[in-house]
Amino acid sequence: MYYATRSRLRLPCLALLCLLAWTLHPATALAGEKPATKAEKKAILLVTFGTSVASAQKSFQAVEQAVKARFPGVETRWAYTAKMIRRKLADQGQVHLSPAQALANLAEDGYTRVAMQSLHVIPGEEFEGLKETAARFAGMPKGPSRVEVGQPLLAGAEDMLRTAKAMLAHAPKERKAKDALVFMGHGTHHFANAAYPAMAYVFQKLDPNVSLGTVEGYPSLEEVKAELKARGNKKAWLIPFMSVAGDHAMNDMAGEEEDSWKSDLGKAGVSCQPVLTGMAEHPEIAAIWLDHLQEALERLEK
């Protein structure tokens, strides 16, 4: 029959064509190897909330120097997650990019694999946003084929112990044993806020005169005040538990206003001495972020 003859002919022809196409295609993967591509170009994107305080920028410079020393020759760029801060700095003529803008620029410049390192303290809202941005950018046409996000500072119990030890090692030399160390973290409504009471616990295991509170989460200044009172601390050193000694540290913590931590604790009979150093200025703290960056770079190779 006419119909049968045609289909008998057509099938072998199709099969032959498919076989030809398959063997000639450069991406043919007999042993499951990846298609041959041009050389991958790797970059590091350091991502912070950002700061509008010029003197706090030195924290970022310290991190950048450490990154360049540990990963020499890898293109390293910055992005700020806080739109409010990007706008404020833009008004002063300083351009800072969002993570998405920075990724787009990296793609434009031919970078195919990007390790985005979160310089945030906890895996909260900012970090989640970063992971979402990374997931959407990876594999975009003409974009980077892979984007991996490095964990923030406190990604597990080991990070917490390392952080506590490093911060205690950097306690002011003039501190006496009975002086309290009061760390001020940011705090959030996000579940990751749980890292702060966890850190307070770790600190107190190492040094019973340490307290940790947050500006916007739990524990608050009220809990800190109650702890100082119960322990009879008459003096406290106020230290930012944030990557930079920025606006919160200078105003909410160390400011002269009535509601600053310094004033509030002062009224409660605790004389306070603020220390305006960002956590990122300490090499042992930067090293934790860098370890997380190394893990992200290693995931890019897989």
By annotation, the residues acting in catalysis are: 186
Pairwise CA distance, residues 174 & 196, whole Å:
26
- Residue 139 CA, distance from chain mean position: 22
Q: Which helix (H) or strand (E) holds 78?
A: strand 75-80
181 - beta bridge partners?
Answer: 210, 237
| 3-class secondary structure, 220 | coil
213 - beta bridge partners?
Answer: 184
Place of tokens 């000639």: 24
- CB of 124 within 8 A of CB of 80? no
Pairwise CA distance, residues 26 & 20, whole Å:
12
| 3-class secondary structure, 157 | helix
For the stretch 49-52, contacts whose Cβ atoms lie closer than 8 Å and that sit 24 or more positions apart, written own/partner, are 49/80, 49/81, 49/82, 49/85, 49/119, 49/120, 49/126, 49/243, 50/80, 50/81, 50/82, 50/85, 50/86, 50/89, 50/96, 51/85, 51/244, 51/246, 51/247, 52/85, 52/88, 52/89, 52/246, 52/247
- Residue 26 CA, distance from chain mean position: 39
Query: Length of the chain, please?
Result: 302
